Amino acid sequence: MDGIRELPDWVRPPLDAVAECYRVVCRFTGARGEQRERGVFAVFSWWVVGDTAPLTHRSGIVVTREAARSESWVALCLAAGMPPPTARDWQRLSADPALARTTDREFAYGAWRALAWLLGVREDWPAHGAWHRAAEIAPERPHLAVPRDLRNTPGWLAAQAASWEQAEADALAHWRHTRRLADATDR
> What digits encode the pLDDT tens for the residues 51-71?
999 999 999 988 999 999 999
pLDDT the model gives residue 1: 39
Q: State the chain's mean pLDDT as an integer.
A: 89
Residue 136 to residue 182: CA distance in whole angstroms: 38
Return the top range by mean pLDDT from 27-36, 46-55, 69-78. 69-78
Question: Computed from CA positions of residues 26, 5, 54, 78, in that sequence, does the dihedral angle turn out positive or negative?
Answer: positive
Residue 186 has pLDDT above 80, yes or no: no
Q: Is the CB of residue 86 less than 8 Å from the CB of residue 93?
A: no
Q: Is the CB of residue 43 less than 8 Å from the CB of residue 116?
A: no
pLDDT class for 41, splitting at 50, 70, 90? very high
pLDDT the model gives residue 32: 58
pLDDT the model gives residue 136: 78
Please state at what angle helix 105-119 crosses helix 35-44, rounded to 10 degrees. 40
Q: Tens of pLDDT along 63-111? A: 999 999 999 999 999 999 999 999 999 999 999 999 999 999 999 999 9
Angle at alpha carbon of residue 115, lines to 130 and 75, rounded to 5°: 125
pLDDT the model gives residue 38: 92
What percent of the chain has a predicted confidence (pLDDT) above 70? 91
Residue 30 has pLDDT above 70, yes or no: no
